[in-house]
Amino acid sequence: MSAQSAKSQIIPPVLTDSLPLALRLRLWRNRLVASPRFRQLIARLPLLRSIGNRKANDLFRLTGGFIFSQVLLAGVRLGLYETLQGAPATTGVLAAHLGIPEGRLRVLLRANVCLGLLLEPAPDLWVLDDAGAVLASDRGLGAMVLHHAMLYRDLTEPDHLLRTAGAQTELRQYWAYVRDMGTGGPQAAEVDGYSLLMRESQAMMADCILAAHDFGQTRILLDVGGGDGAFLAAAADRHASLQLRLFDLPAVADRAVCHLESLGLGARTRVHGGDFVRDPLPDDADCVTLVRILCDHDDSRVAALLANLHRSLRPGTTLIVAEAMDGTSEGARLSAAYFGFYFLAMGSGRCRSAQEIAGFLSSTGFQAVRTVTTSNPLIATLVTARR
Ligand SMILES: CC(C)=CCC/C(C)=C/CC/C(C)=C/C=C/C(C)=C/C=C/C=C(C)/C=C/C=C(C)/C=C/C=C(C)/C=C/CC(C)(C)O
Ligand SMILES: C[S@@+](CC[C@H](N)C(=O)[O-])C[C@H]1O[C@@H](n2cnc3c(N)ncnc32)[C@H](O)[C@@H]1O
């Protein structure tokens, strides 16, 4: 007996007669789809064949996903997309520039064409396709792809990761505040890596948030867990009279001071170092943002952080939670699947739905809780509320 059928026999049977009709239909359909003879029949019927092939391609996309990710990682590491930015190139030119033998490079280039990253308009001539053009122009995306190398190593035994709480993973080390929770915070050298990644990957996030919420009426904006200040800088760029406040761990706050000063924003900014769960937060802002913050933390810590915000902020202050959230759109579902495993490897946090986040805000005492969809739910959804 195969391991799979042995397992299905030890799961207690459900009384199928008592299941709702939709579920019984699903079980009937699953039995059909599982039958090789049914699939052979579908393959012979032209209209249904295309549905069958689409399902097969979807499953193949999952099966080959790791390989496709390695194609992308190789392209980013080699600087392939940057090299092709602005002009096409031949295999020979690329081989000399990237230091890869032509025959082997062609394997990478062809895979890139098949995956929608490059086009081959004439034999042995390569140019960026839409996705390659986005990658070449967005430093943050490239940085994300590079840092995935750690995640891939953490995921080599995904079943082990699922079974083992507190597994020692590379991502847990990388996100030093997860490892050092409640111990006064990590040292400067330990926050450099993730702070730079967050700064570089902020552009798409900030575009989404600033297009979805009008900060035109805001006088003072406090970004809690604001990292190097990249979100504040993007907001300041659009709203010339906005005053800026940032709160983050002391080692990150030091970086934010330098970064915001280097952008000429020093005079508009006050930066505070501390622990956002335990320390009082500045209370002079009329709007407070939590960008990619709640998702990092387990429920009890989210509740403690929101309670601290509620204690610290003045009544009437607007609170905005912005992060990738679980939901029904394709983007939200992709994010939920990605971040679900990302947070397992990181050892903390959860990708929550807007409803769950709204529930946390309401039960902490925040009022007028609202969900705001953005132009791209893959990147972020907002939940806003009033203290
Ligand atoms: C004009 C003519 C002739 C034709 C135009 C045709 C046309 C309409 C083409 C479309 C072109 C277009 C607009 C393309 C747009 C593409 C975009 C916007 C692509 C965006 C892709 C975004 C991606 C892949 C985002 C990936 C994000 C990742 C992997 C984020 C990871 C985040 C992490 C790990 C965060 C960590 C923080 C923590 C720990 C969770 O708190
Ligand atoms: C995922 S990053 C997001 C940074 C920024 N908001 C962004 O979207 O680019 C999480 C931020 O929360 C900060 N953080 C984590 N734990 C903290 C704590 N206990 N007190 C203050 N800041 C904290 C980290 O230092 C980091 O800058």
pLDDT tens for 349-381 read: 999 999 999 999 999 999 999 999 999 999 999
Look at ligand 1, atom 15, and give the residue with the nearest C-alpha: 134
pLDDT tens for 159-169 read: 999 999 889 99
CA distance 332 to 75: 26
| Ligand 2 closest atom vs CA 279 | 20
Q: 198-386 — its CATH code?
A: 3.40.50.150
pLDDT tens for 12-33 read: 667 777 889 999 999 999 999 9
Residue 1 has pLDDT above 50, yes or no: no
CA separation (Å) from 26 to 23, 58, 59, 99? 5, 19, 19, 53
Average pLDDT over every residue of 241-246 = 97
Within 13 Å of residue 12, how many CA atoms lie on the same side as its CB?
2
**Ligand 2 cavity residues, CB under 6 Å:** 177, 198, 202, 205, 225-227, 230-231, 248-249, 252, 275-277, 291-293, 296
Give the SS3 label for residue 320. strand
Domain ranges of the chain: 32-137, 198-386
pLDDT tens for 288-297 read: 999 999 999 9
Average pLDDT over every residue of 197-213 = 97
pLDDT confidence of residue 162: 94
pLDDT tens for 317-352 read: 999 999 999 999 999 999 999 999 999 999 999 999
Residue 272 has pLDDT above 90, yes or no: yes
Which ligand ends up closest to the CA of 232? 2
Determine if residue 329 is left, alpha or beta; phi over 0 gives left, psi from -120 to 50 gives alpha, anything else beta: beta
Q: Is the CB of 133 under 6 A from ligand 1?
A: no
Q: Report how far ligand 1's centroid is from the alpha carbon of 11 (Å).
A: 41
Query: Percentage of residues in the chain with pLDDT exceeding 70?
Result: 96
pLDDT band at 8 (very low <50, low <70, confident <90, very high): low
Q: Is the CB of 130 under 6 A from ligand 1?
A: yes
Average pLDDT over every residue of 64-87 = 97
pLDDT band at 182 (very low <50, low <70, confident <90, very high): low
Class of domain 32-137: mainly alpha
Pocket test for ligand 2, best of 172, 181, 183, 198 (most atoms within 8 A of CB): 198
Q: Is the pTM higher than 0.90?
A: yes
Maximum Cα–Cα distance across the chain: 73
CB-neighbour burial class of residue 127 (10 A; exposed 0-12, middle 13-18, buried 19+): middle
The gap from C-alpha 344 to its chain's centroid, in whole angstroms, comes to 13
Query: Do the Cβ atoms of 371 and 212 come closer than 8 Å?
Result: no
Taking all residues of the chain, what is their mean pLDDT, rounded to a whole number? 94
pLDDT tens for 105-146 read: 999 999 999 999 999 999 999 999 999 999 999 999 999 999
H or E stretch at 135: helix 130-137
Q: Which two tokens stand for residue 38?
A: 């049914």
Query: Do the Cβ atoms of 313 and 288 come closer than 8 Å?
Result: yes
Provide ipTM, 2 decimals: 0.96
Q: Report how far ligand 2's centroid is from the alpha carbon of 198 (Å).
A: 9
pLDDT confidence of residue 2: 47
pLDDT confidence of residue 129: 98
pLDDT tens for 323-332 read: 999 999 999 9
